[in-house]
Structure 1
Amino acid sequence: MTSVLMLRALGLGDFLTGVPAYRALRRAYPRAETVLAAPEALRPLAALTGAIDRLLPAGELRPIPWDWPPPDVAVDLHGNGPASHRLIDATGAAVRMMYASAAAPDVDGPWWDEEEHEVARWCRLVGRWGIPADPGDLRLRVPAEEPPVRRAAVVHPGAAYPARRWPPDRFAAVARALAGEGRPVVITGTAGERDLAAAVAEAAGLPAASVLAGTTGLTGLAALVADAAVVVSNDTGVSHLATAYGVPSVTLFGPVSPALWGPPEGGPHVALWHGTGGRPGNAHGTETDPRLLQITVEEVLAALTSLREPAA
C-alpha cells in the first residue's frame, strides 16, 4: 500500500488550519493511506476530517515514530526550517514537500512567506506539486456525541499563553450580557483553565454548572461548538472550531493579526483587532498584549449584535 505522511504535531488551531491541505492530499492520492503525525489528543477530530486514515502520535519537533517502509510522500506542515525538515528527511520518503526559507535555502520547494495566512500557506505548499487545495474547505463533520448543552453561547476565556488572554472580568461582562438575553451560557477551557472558567462564571453570576472547562474532551467540545448559537473567544483553537462548523463567532486578537490566523471572510465571524500591521507581537508572551487590552466589552457586544442583525 502506498502512504502519505503529513507532519502537523501542534495544537488544535494548527490542526484545523491544515484541513484543506489534508483533503487536497487525500484527493491527490486516493489509493494511499493518509497518516497524520500529530498529538494523540487530536485523534477524535482527525476522523472528522474525512481525509485522515490514521493518526500517528507525535510530539512537537520530536522524531516521527515511523517504523514501516518509507512513505511515498511526506509533507512538512509544521514549519520552514531544518528542525522539522530533518524529521521528514528521516522517513526516507521518495517525495518530500517542504518550504524553502532563509534557514533552509537549498530545499526544493516554494519560498516561505511570513505574511501569509496560515490556511493559505499549506494550500500553496501542496500546490507547488500540482495538488489544488481550497482554503475555504475547512468544515468538519459533526460528532455523533450529543452536545452537553444545546444551543449555548460559548465563552472561552483561556489561551495557551497570557499574551492572548483578554481580561477575565471583561469576559464575565460579556457572559453576563449573553445570559441576560435568556440563552444558556457555558464557559469552556482545558482542565488547567477550570479555575479561570469558574472565576468568569462567578463574576458573571452564572451557576457552577455553566463551567464546562476540563469536562468535555475534544469530541464533546466539538459537539458543543457545532450546535452553539455563538462563540466568543480569544485567538485560540475554539475559534477555529467555530469556523469549522460555520457557527457565528467573535474572536479577540492581540499579538497576531487576523490576517494571519483569522476566520475566512464572508462567514458569520467577527475578528476584533487594534493592530496596524507589521510583524506579529509575541504570541507566547507572559503579559496580555496591549492591542488585546484595547478591545472593549462594548465592542464585543456590538459585534455580537451585528451577527444577529441581517446585513443591510
Structure 2
Amino acid sequence: MSRPAILMLRALGLGDFLTGVPAYRALRAAYPEHETVLAAPSALAPLADLCGAIDRLLPTGELEPIGWHGPPPDVGVDLHGNGPASHQPVAATGARTLMMYASPTAPDAKGPWWDDDEHEVRRWCRLLEWWDVRTDPTALLLDPPAVPAPVEGAAVVHPGAASGSRRWPAERYAAVAEALAAEGERVVITGTEGERRLAQEVAERAGLPPESVLAGRAGLAELAALVSRARLVVSNDTGMAHLGFAYSRPSVTLYGPVSPALWGPPLGESRHAVLWHGSGGRPGDAWGAIPDPRLLRITVREVLDAARAVRHQPSL
C-alpha cells in the first residue's frame, strides 16, 4: 500500500532549488509518514538526494502540467510562484490541502499575502508557518556528495549567469583569476556547456591552462563535490553562489540588479562576502541583456580584498 504524499512544486533552477531546502525539510518533519515528492527539472535529481527531505523527484518543466499519477496527494504546496500559472498545476493534482500564496492575481487563494520584498528563503518558510508548519530558515546545508571532486581545494571562479544583467565582465573575472593563481590558489573556471566559451576566455586571459576550464565538463553532482571541498567560490548572483552557501565554503558573490537582501547568503555568515553598490530591494532588471550599472561599480580590487578576508575565516 502506497504512502500518502506531499507534492511540492519548485520547477526552477539551481539557486531556486537551494533556497527551497529549508521548506522541503520543514514539510518532511511535519509529515514524517508521508512521501515527499518534488516537481522540478530532472537535472536537479543529484541534489535532491543530498538534502535529506525528498523521497522522489517528479520531472517537471517550469509552469508545465505536473504528471501526477495515482491517488491525489494529501498536500500540494506551491513553492514556485504566487498566481494562477503555478497554482493551477498544483491544484490539478487533486491535492486535498493546498498551500499557496494569495496575491493580486490570486486574491482568493487560502494563504498569506505575497510580499515582493522578502528574502527568497524566508518567503517559503513564511508560507508554511501560516499553515502551522515549523521551519528553520537556516537549514540550508547539504550533505556531501558521494562522487569525488574534480579538483580538491580549488578556488572556483564562476563568470556566468542566466542573464547579461548579472554577468560581471569576463576581463575582470580574468584579472581576479590571475591574481588568485599568483597567490598560489588552484583556480578552476566553471559554468554550463553554453558558458564554455566564456570560461575559456576567462582562463586564456588569466593565463590558466586549458584543464582549468570545467565548464560543460562536470555534472551537477561533480560541481557539488567541487564546491563542498573548495577553498573559495567567486561568482555572480546565480546558482553557484547558493551552492557555496549550501556547503558553507568561503565565498564572494557579486550582485547587480537584485539586492542580496532578497537572494543573499544567511545573515551573520562571515564566510560569505557580498558585494553590491545599490540600495532598496529590486532596483534593476534581473533578466536584462547588459550588465547592471551596480554590478559594473564593483572593482577587481574589491573582489580580491573580499576573497582574502573570507579565506581567513575559520573552517567548520
- Taking structure 1 as the reference length, the TM-score comes to 0.98
SS at match of 1:49: coil
| Alignment-derived partner of residue 4 in structure 1 | 6
1:79 Cα deviation after fit: 0.6
Determine the structure 2 residue equivalent to 1:105. Answer: 107
Q: Spell out the pairing of 1:1-312 with structure 2 (5 A cutoff).
A: 1-267=3-269, 268-309=271-312
1:19 is displaced (CA, Å) by 0.1
Letter in 2 for 1:237: G
Alpha-carbon distance, 1:163 to partner? 0.7
| Secondary structure of the corresponding residue to residue 292 of structure 1 | helix
- Partners of 2:264 and 2:281 in 1: how far apart? 16
How far apart in 2 are the matches of 1:170 and 1:270? 18
C-alpha separation between the residues in 1 aligned to 2:246 and 2:281? Answer: 28
Superimposed CA distance per residue, residues 269-312 of structure 1 (whole angstroms, 9 cap, x where no aligned partner): 0110011114341111111111100000011011112213459x
Paired residues of 2:76 and 2:95 also in contact (CA < 8 A): yes
Q: What's the % identity of the aligned pairs?
A: 68
Distance 1:310 1:234 in 2: 21
Residue 177 of structure 1 deviates from its aligned partner by 0.7
Question: Could you give the per-residue CA deviations for residues 140-176 of structure 1, whole angstroms, max 9, x where no partner exists?
Answer: 0100111011100000000011110000000000000
Q: CA RMSD in A?
A: 1.0
Change (3 A) 1:72 1:191: same
Structure 1: 4+ residue segments shifted above 4 A: none
Contiguous gaps of at least 5 residues in structure 1: none
CA contact (8 A) 2:102 2:110 kept: yes
SS in 2 for 1:36: strand
Structure 2 contact 75–95 (Cα < 8 Å) conserved: yes
How far apart, in 1, do the equivalents of 2:304 and 2:176 lie?
7
SS in 1 for 2:309: helix
Look up the SS of the partner of 1:48 in the other structure.
coil
The letter of the residue matching 1:304 is A
